[in-house]
Amino acid sequence: MIHRSYLVRQVCPVLLMLLVACLSGCASHVDRLREARERFHAGDLAGASDALDRQLKRSRTDSDALLLDKAVVELASGRPDQAEQTLRGVRDRFDYLEQTSAGEKALSMVTDDNREAYAGEDYEKILLRAFLALANLMDDGQDANAYALQVGQKQEQIIQAAADAQGNNPKAGYKRVALGAYVNGILREETHVDYDDVARAMVRVVSWEPEFRPGRVDLQRAQSGHHSQTGHGVLYAFTLVGQGPYKEEVAEEPSSAALLVADRIISHNGEHTLPPTIAPIKVPRVVLPYNAIRSVGVSVEGQPAGQTETITDVGRLAVQQYEAVYPEVVGRAVARRVLKKGIVFGAKEATGVEKHSLASFALDAAGVAWEATETADTRCWGLLPDRIQVLRIELPAGQHRIGLQPLGPNGPIGAVAETVVPIADGRNTYLLATFPHDRLVGQILVSRRPDGGSPGQMR
């Protein structure tokens, strides 16, 4: 018969090893991302890139989240081709990681969710494809339509996959991203022949983003079969406005309180005590910074031409979609805590320690420390804008001086940034600028082919 003291000596080291494994991941992703966010929003793109590169060298499980931010820096720095390549790599890995790893799931249940490879939130998977379309528009435009179509396809796939056998679907009410349909529509409109396709795309835009007022005008124009008057082309000024959503760690107080009550009941009535719930259950929540900027005013040759309007409210999308899956996030955190308590309880059963003995106290202490090492999974795409906006302007063919000025609730809040844009007869030209606050960050990007380009095939 195995002596109890021998079992204690065997079980305690196992708990300690689990504790050590947890301690290695105590720093959260939001802490590691802080420097890059601060430098990016201050306009220091080189510093933001360096900060991300340093974290990528140290990173194991959050590299793809960091690469999403790297792509935003590359895009703002005037390297849309490199941003596209980075985003495409993350897209493909996210798709691969949708195949659940049983081993990673098991490890995360005795540590925390940071032990799993990050596969992206639903809104990130969708916006990733939207950013691919924008990046490609700023380059040669050959694959922009394929990426735009992927936005809608991915939305449908995510929603359909969430339905259970009883027909319940927590993602059925997901708000749709209209940007993909919008890009598809404006590219088809440029062909001057596919107006039925344009109209179908704009119907989706109006349905999915009813507050986007230009959508109704775009739909009417498509139904009339008109792109632009002779001798004119169209400028689409896209802007990335405000500082977008990110995750932070919060304590799930109701669940922590419920576990505390359960601890007391079992410890009082059972043969063995449970490790007391001292450390709260920690979960990630999506938060939105306050943004003074509301839109971007656009001028042509110094004369006001309008202001950008929201085609995709990134912040609202992120909060709404994350709230839909939040009960599952909390449930997983509670299940993890119960499993850890169960392991300690099982160790006491196996070793036969007495209820109030020193060995029992030691196991409880190890259990408390084990639970305290949990950190919420705050991995996220931290450099997303709060809103993606656009303004359509029809202009005579030729060179035009375009000005962009950040606007707050009561008017201008920053200086005008200018660039020269070529407009081709009957064609679209695209512009992209990043305004996280009261000034431009990085460059104003202008599409490299003002004569347009035929929509490409899916890559």
DSSP result, 86-146: HHHHHHHHHHHHTS--HHHHHHHHHS-GGGSPP---HHHHHHHHHHHHHHHHTTT-TTHHH
pLDDT in tens, 124-136: 999 999 999 999 9
Q: Beta partners for 251?
A: 282
Instruction: Report the C-alpha gap between 206 and 270 in whole angstroms.
Output: 61
pLDDT in tens, 212-233: 999 999 999 999 999 999 999 9
Instruction: Report the C-alpha gap between 121 and 133 in whole angstroms.
Output: 19
What pLDDT does 10 receive? 45
Q: Looking at the predicted structure, is the pLDDT value of residue 2 above 50? A: no
User: Which of the residue ranges 68-82, 126-140, 170-184, 322-336 would you say has the lowest mean pLDDT?
Assistant: 322-336
Residue 324 token pair? 């839909």
Q: Which fold has domain 4-443?
A: 1.25.40
- Quote the distance between the C-alpha of residue 301 and its chain's center: 37
pLDDT tier at 457 (50, 70, 90 boundaries)?
Answer: very low
Q: Tokens 């936005």 belong to which residue? A: 151
353 secondary structure, DSSP code: -
Arithmetic mean of pLDDT over the chain: 83
HEC letters along 358-395? HHHHHHHHHHHHHHHCCCCCCCCCCCCEEEEEEEEEEE
What pLDDT does 363 receive? 54
Give the pTM.
0.84
**Cβ–Cβ under 8 Å, residues 424 and 308:** no
- Three-state SS at 284: strand
What pLDDT does 98 receive? 83
Q: Looking at the predicted structure, is the pLDDT value of residue 416 above 70? A: yes
Q: Which residue has the higher pLDDT, 163 or 431?
A: 431
445 CB contacts (<8 Å, ≥6 apart)?
Answer: 75, 78, 80, 138, 431, 432, 433
Q: Which amino acid, 46?
A: A
96 CB contacts (<8 Å, ≥6 apart)?
Answer: none
pLDDT in tens, 319-337: 999 998 888 887 777 777 6
- Quote the distance between the C-alpha of residue 98 and its chain's center: 16
- Quote the distance between the C-alpha of residue 273 and its chain's center: 42
CA proximity to 279, closest of 296, 295, 301, 255: 255
Q: Which residue has the higher pLDDT, 11 or 197?
A: 197
Residue 452: CB atoms within 10 Å: 19
What pLDDT does 332 receive? 78
Q: Looking at the predicted structure, is the pLDDT value of residue 353 above 80? A: no
Instruction: Report the C-alpha gap between 77 and 150 in whole angstroms.
Output: 25
What pLDDT does 279 receive? 59
Q: Looking at the predicted structure, is the pLDDT value of residue 273 above 70? A: no
CA proximity to 388, closest of 201, 211, 197, 244: 244
Q: Looking at the predicted structure, is the pLDDT value of residue 45 above 50? A: yes
Q: What backbone torsions phi and psi does residue 431 show, to the nearest 5 degrees?
A: -130, 145
What pLDDT does 331 receive? 79
